[in-house]
Amino acid sequence: MGNEVKKETNLAYGGQALIEGIMMRGKEGYAFTIKKQDGTFHKEKHDYVALGKRIKFFGLPFIRGISGFFENMFIGIKVLNKSAEIAFPEENNQKTSNFTMFVTFGLAMVIAMGIFVALPYFLTQVFGIVHNKEPFMYNLIAGVIRMLFFFMYLILISFMKDTKRLFGYHGAEHKTIHTYESDKDLTVENVKTYSRLHPRCGTSFLFIVFLITIVVFPFINEFFIRQTWYQLLSNYGKIGDALQKLVIIASHILIGMPIVSSISYEILKLSGKFYKNFLVKIFIAPGLFFQLFTTREPEEDMIKVGIISLNMVLGKEDADVPRAVSDTDILPKKASVVLSTLLFLPFLFLNFLFDFNEE
């Protein structure tokens, strides 16, 4: 029974790759470490209690996924912006405000919705299937196209120079978490032996999202198809047909995506808890496959960053303890700490999804 409780607690830790760094998060706060150009590490720790813990409503099933996404996005953008300023100060003489980062992220989200939601919907008509007559088949084909687009996107960015190191830190974050979940000491040598793929990763979350859209979106189509005002639009020829499609696409983004995200989050939580189950392994296999493109085997310095960040979250290291890349011993140096087994992020979809499940 004791081991089961401990394993449950493990699920409350996760992280996010940053620019030359890693952020780790737990129930009571988050910490991040950035590798500086002078060979030292910048370290910070912040107390933070999730909104779902402070306000019960936002912690309810199917609500917590939506609130958690925006909460993690807020923290992720802020820390990502700071990591860029610390890692490359000469390129950030004029600091980018968090507001500018949010605007940039918002624009990126609009473009992503256009590519992964709207464009597949329009391309599906090439197969001669009418969206308001065969909604399920229409969305099934659109979903397949959506996943193909995402797969091509992952392949494209995986070869970009600027993302290779980010994916290395992503891999280090996963391997560090795996080490903790296996109740092993957080040492560089131990972390090296674990997989860079993790079932609770934001990449797996996105794959689940794509599958759920195939189920949820047809019901939204059916709802509008039954509305008289929607049917009347077909009397205006091609313009009316285009308006019908725009209504559906807007409803998918504004209504469907929050529903899909909340359902996907709950499924991701369950898959994280029961990832050893044979059926769950089959279900999460495609998401793990995608992680082959969003993670890379990390360098030792990247692993050190992950360990230091996690040690701070666990209270095993103070943020004001100096650390350097050349350190061979990165375990806590405080004499009062016994060197025993050390307890141990959407996106990552484009840097902003945590591999984090609040219990």
Mean pLDDT, to the nearest integer, of 321-344?
A: 52
Q: What is the pLDDT of residue 101?
A: 65
Q: What is the pLDDT of residue 177?
A: 92
Q: Which two tokens stand for residue 201?
A: 């990763």
Q: What is the pLDDT of residue 90?
A: 66
CA distance 150 to 156: 10
Q: What is the pLDDT of residues 343-352, one digit of tens each?
A: 223 333 333 3
Give the pLDDT band of residue 98 (cuts 50, 70, 90). low
Distance between the two ends of the chain, CA-based, in angstroms?
17
Q: What is the pLDDT of residue 339?
A: 29
Q: What is the pLDDT of residue 134?
A: 87
Per-chain mean pLDDT for the chain: 80
Q: What is the pLDDT of residues 175-233, one digit of tens each?
A: 999 999 888 999 999 999 999 998 777 777 777 888 899 899 999 999 999 999 999 99
Residue 32 has pLDDT above 90, yes or no: yes
CA distance 206 to 147: 10
Residue 359 has pLDDT above 70, yes or no: no
Q: What is the pLDDT of residue 8?
A: 40
Structural contact between residues 338 and 185, judged by C-beta atoms closer than 8 angstroms = no
Q: What is the pLDDT of residue 336?
A: 32
CA distance 320 to 33: 12
Q: Which two tokens stand for residue 193?
A: 């032996």
Per-residue HEC secondary structure of the chain comes to: CHHHHHHHHHCCCEEEEECCEEEEEECCEEEEEEECCCCEEEEEEEECCCHHHHCHHHHCCCCHHHHHHHHHHHHHHHHHHHHHHHHCHHHCCCCCCHHHHHHHHHHHHHHHHHHHHHHHHHHHHHHCCCCCCCHHHHHHHHHHHHHHHHHHHHHHHHCCHHHHHHHHHHHHHHHHHHHHHCCCCCCHHHHHCCCCCCCCCHHHHHHHHHHHHHHHHHHHHHHHHCCHHHHHHHHHHHHHHHHHHHHHHHHHHHHHHHHHHHHHHHHHHHHHHCCCCHHHHHHHHHHHHHHHHHCCCCCHHHHHHHHHHHHHHCCCCCCCCCCECCCCCCCCCCCCCCCCCCCCCCCCCCCCCCCCCCC
Q: What is the pLDDT of residue 350?
A: 37
Q: What is the pLDDT of residue 97?
A: 61
- In terms of Cβ atoms closer than 10 Å to its own Cβ (0-12, 13-18, 19+), residue 70 is exposed
Q: Which two tokens stand for residue 48?
A: 């933070």
CA distance 344 to 314: 7
Q: What is the pLDDT of residue 15?
A: 85
Q: Which two tokens stand for residue 179?
A: 């080490």
Residue 31 has pLDDT above 90, yes or no: yes
What are the strands of the beta sheet with 29-35, ordered from one edge? 14-18, 21-26, 29-35, 41-47
Structural contact between residues 307 and 176, judged by C-beta atoms closer than 8 angstroms = yes
Q: What is the pLDDT of residues 221-277, one digit of tens each?
A: 999 999 999 999 989 988 998 899 899 989 998 999 889 888 888 887 777 677 777
- For the chain, which residues make up each domain, given as ranges? 103-159+197-294
Lowest average pLDDT, out of 95-99, 210-214, 319-323, goes to 95-99
Q: What is the pLDDT of residue 313?
A: 92
Q: What is the pLDDT of residue 49?
A: 85
Q: What is the pLDDT of residue 42?
A: 95
Residue 338 has pLDDT above 50, yes or no: no
Structural contact between residues 196 and 297, judged by C-beta atoms closer than 8 angstroms = yes
Q: Which two tokens stand for residue 323?
A: 């650390």
Q: How many CB atoms lie within 10 A of CB 336?
A: 5
Residue 39 has pLDDT above 60, yes or no: yes
**Residue in the structure block whose two tokens are 């807020």:** 74
Q: What is the pLDDT of residue 114?
A: 83
Q: What is the pLDDT of residues 116-171, one digit of tens each?
A: 888 888 888 888 888 778 889 988 999 899 888 888 888 887 777 778 888 899 99
